[in-house]
Structures are given as structure tokens and as C-alpha cells.
């Protein structure tokens, strides 16, 4: 019963937040600026910082894969042979 | 797979995020300013820093040759290239330091304006990283002099090289953004 109340509370809170969203300005300095240029740069930098971790992880993943390939140069060809 | 190298790569990844954040702050603050650099602030020394940039880029090349030398089992060449890298790294820091003293003399300080604050934060953080890289390089150099590296065991050189690549690679971006105002 207690668990059901928690689920109901969580669900209704979620529905309320979804129905009545409130804008939260993550950078008050940028959003209160008179210059449109600041906001434009803010959006670009936000996109840049959002994509940067994926790029970093991609580079690390690629490096690990290339290191693996270098340490076992024949592993791929063996797999291919097995597949054939 | 070398776990130390993987660890360093992850650390460098976090450093990339750190510099990404600093660069974003710099760009946002610069875009909010009508005139950049502000009228009463000194211009940054572009020519001297361009020469300094050249020194740092060359140091990346010498560091690359250091790693190549130890992989080819050429211990003497390793010492030569590592020493050259250390000299270039120290030269970069010395020129940077002397330019900073001049800029402070002209009135550009951390508190003089946003321009000064962002300049010292960005360039200062990079300078600290180069300083750290030089210190680690000196440790590697000391070990190399005592013959501590071989073809099979040269993780120290590889780690130092990877970190050096990072500090060299990030500098041209900072130079173009901060000094050339691109």
C-alpha cells in the first residue's frame, strides 16, 4: 500500500511538472544581457559543451580499439577466416 | 592494453572539458563586450607569442622523436630529443612569464577588467599545465639518464609524450582565440 502511494505521488508530480513547466534560465548573465550576440554565443557554447564529452569518449573508444588491434594484429583476420 | 595510458587519456578527456568550459566563458564574455579588447586595456603581444607558439609546436615534434627513439632502441637519441623538448618547454614558459610581467606593468591584471580576468584564467591555466608537463618531463629525463627505459619498458616516456601532445595541441586554439581575437 505504501509503495503504491509513493508511485502515485511520483506519477502525479511528474504529470504536474509536464503540464505546468517553468522556464529555468541556466545562465542569468546571458539571458539578462541586452545584446543578442551574447545569447547566440551562449547557445553555440552550450551545443559545443554538450557534444564535447561524446567526442572525448569517441576518441578514447577509438584509441582503445586501435591499441587492441595493434596488440593482436591477426585477430580480425582469424575471425574473418572462421566466419568464412 | 596499457592501463596507465588509458588512465591518462581519461584524465586528458577531463582536461579537454575543463578547457572547453573556460573557452566557452571567454567567448560569451567577449561577445557581450562592444569593444574587445576594452579601450583602456593594453593589446596582447601577438608577434612574440607567435614565436613562442612556434617553440611549443617544435617541442611537440621533438617529443614525438623522443618516443620514436626509445621505440627504435636508440637511448642516446632519446636523451637528445628529451633534453631539446625540456629546453623548448622552459623557453616557452620563460617568454610567457616575461610577457606577463610586461602586461602587469601596463595595467593588465586579473582584477583590471573581464578582459584581464579571462586572459589570465585561460592562458594561466595553460601555463600551469605546461609547467606540470615540464616537471614530469624532467622526471622522465632523469630516469632516461640513468638508463631506466628500454624498448619493452618505456611507459613513462609514452605518458609524458601523450600529455605533451595535449598541452601543445590546445595552445594554437588559445592563441587564435585570445591573442588574435578570432
| Sequence-ordered list of residues with C-beta below 8 angstroms from that of B95, at least 6 positions apart, any chain | B48, B51, B52, B55
CA–CA distance from A8 to each of A14, A28, B12, B114 (Å)? 10, 35, 45, 50
Residues B24, A46: Cα–Cα separation, whole Å: 8
Nearest by CB: B1 against A29, A48, A71: A71
With beta carbons less than 8 A apart as the criterion, state whether A57 and B18 touch.
no
Residues B49, B100: Cα–Cα separation, whole Å: 11
A78 pLDDT tier (thresholds 50, 70, 90): low
pLDDT at A80: 53
Asked if the ipTM is above 0.85, the reply is no
| Beta strands in B2-69, from DSSP E residues, in sequence order | none
Using a pLDDT cut of 90, give the percent of chain B over it.
74
B33-76, pLDDT tens digit by residue? 888 888 888 889 999 999 999 999 999 999 999 999 999 989 89
Residue with cell 636523451: B79
pLDDT at A69: 86
* Full-model pTM: 0.83
**B-contacting residues in A 2-61 (Cβ below 8 Å):** 27, 29-30, 33, 35, 37-38, 40-42, 44-46, 48-49, 52-53, 56-57, 59-60
- For B123, the grid coordinates are 592562458
Cis peptide before B37 (omega within 30 of 0): yes
Amino acid at each position: 500500500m505504501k509503495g503504491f502511494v509513493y508511485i502515485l505521488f511520483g506519477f502525479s508530480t511528474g504529470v504536474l511538472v509536464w503540464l505546468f513547466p517553468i522556464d529555468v534560465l541556466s545562465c542569468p548573465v546571458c539571458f539578462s544581457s541586452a545584446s543578442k550576440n551574447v545569447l547566440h554565443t551562449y547557445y553555440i557554447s552550450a551545443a559545443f559543451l554538450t557534444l564535447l564529452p561524446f567526442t572525448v569518449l569517441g576518441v578514447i573508444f577509438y584509441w582503445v580499439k586501435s591499441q587492441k588491434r595493434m596488440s593482436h594484429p591477426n585477430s580480425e583476420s582469424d575471425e574473418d577466416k572462421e566466419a568464412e | 592494453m596499457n592501463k596507465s595510458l588509458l588512465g591518462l587519456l581519461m584524465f586528458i578527456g577531463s582536461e579537454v572539458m575543463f578547457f572547453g568550459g573556460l573557452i566557452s566563458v571567454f567567448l560569451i564574455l567577449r561577445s557581450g563586450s562592444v569593444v574587445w579588447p576594452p579601450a583602456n586595456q593594453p593589446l596582447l603581444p601577438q608577434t612574440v607569442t607567435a614565436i613562442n607558439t612556434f617553440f611549443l609546436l617544435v617541442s611537440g615534434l621533438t617529443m614525438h622523436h623522443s618516443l620514436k627513439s626509445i621505440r627504435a632502441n636508440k637511448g642516446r637519441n632519446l636523451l637528445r630529443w628529451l633534453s631539446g623538448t625540456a629546453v623548448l618547454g622552459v623557453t616557452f614558459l620563460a617568454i610567457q612569464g616575461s610577457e606577463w610581467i610586461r602586461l602587469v606593468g601596463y595595467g593588465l591584471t586579473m582584477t583590471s577588467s573581464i578582459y584581464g580576468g579571462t586572459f589570465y584564467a585561460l592562458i594561466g591555466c595553460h601555463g600551469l599545465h605546461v609547467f606540470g608537463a615540464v616537471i614530469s618531463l624532467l622526471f622522465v629525463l632523469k630516469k632516461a639518464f640513468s638508463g631506466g627505459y628500454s624498448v619493452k619498458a618505456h611507459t613513462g616516456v609514452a605518458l609524458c609524450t601523450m600529455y605533451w601532445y595535449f598541452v601543445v595541441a590546445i595552445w594554437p586554439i588559445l592563441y587564435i582565440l585570445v591573442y588574435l581575437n578570432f
